[in-house]
Amino acid sequence: MGTSITFKRPDGKDASGYLANAARGNAPGVVVIQEWWGLSEQIKALTDRFALAGFDALAPDLYNGVVVPYHDTEAANREMGSLDFIDATTQTVRGAAAYLARNGAKVGLTGFCMGGAVTIIGACKIPELSAGVAFYGIPPEQAAKPADVKIPLQGHFASRDDWCTPAVVDAFEKGLKAAGKTAEFFRYEADHAFVNEQRAAVHDREAAELAWGRATAFFHKHLG
C-alpha cells in the first residue's frame, strides 16, 4: 500500500522512510516509530493501517536499512544501543513530522517499544507535533522528563512487561500529573509488544484492538 521515500532532516541530511497516504487529500499526519527490530513489515503494516484510518502516515527508518530478525534480541539490543536517540528524534523524526506538516496538517507521533521511548522524547522536543501516543516504551529521565512534555500524550502499557516495567510507567504518569500535563495511560493484562501480530508468543489481539481504537480516537480528537 505504501511506498519508500526520502525526506530532509532539519540539518539538511537525507533520511528514508515508508509512507502510506490516506484516501482524502487533506488528512492529518502520524509519524510511526519502529520497535528495536527496525523498520519491519509489522511496522509498515501499522503505517498502512493508520492510512486506512484517515491519516497520512510516515515511518522513518532509524536503522538505515537494518532489520533484525525477531529471534536475535542480542543484535536488536546492539542496534538500539548504538542509536543516538536525541539525534534520531530531533533530526530524523522531526524531519518526518515536518514532511507531513508541509501542507499545514496537524501531526501526531506514535511508536512501539523503542519507538514508544522516542515518542516521549519527541513529545518534549519536536515543535511540529500536536499529540503523541506511546506504546510500552519510556525513555530514561535524562532524555525526557514528564514536566518537559509539551503535547497531549496517551500511553499503552503491559502489566507483564519486564522492559518498560509497571513501576517505571507509574512513576512517569505520576510525574505527568504533578506537572499538570494532559495525559492518559492505559494498562493491559498482556506482555511487552502485545500489538505485534508477527510475534505469536506475545501478541494479544483483544488488547491490541482496544489500544488501537483508543489511539486512533485520540489522534482524531487532537489532529482532526
Please give the pLDDT value at position 103. 87
Per-residue HEC secondary structure of 157-185 comes to: EEEECCCCCHHHHHHHHHHHHHCCCCEEE
Question: pTM of the full predicted structure?
Answer: 0.98
Round to whole Å and give the CA distance between 37 and 39.
Answer: 7
- Beta-bridge partner residues of 105: none
Please give the pLDDT value at position 95. 98
Please give the pLDDT value at position 53. 98
Neighbouring CB atoms inside 10 A of 221's CB total 11
pLDDT tens digits along 71-130:
999 999 999 999 999 999 999 999 999 999 998 999 999 999 999 999 999 999 999 999
Distances from the Cα of 46 to the Cα of 30, 63, 161, 170, 193, angstroms: 11, 18, 21, 27, 13
Give the residue ranges of the chain where pLDDT is below 70: none
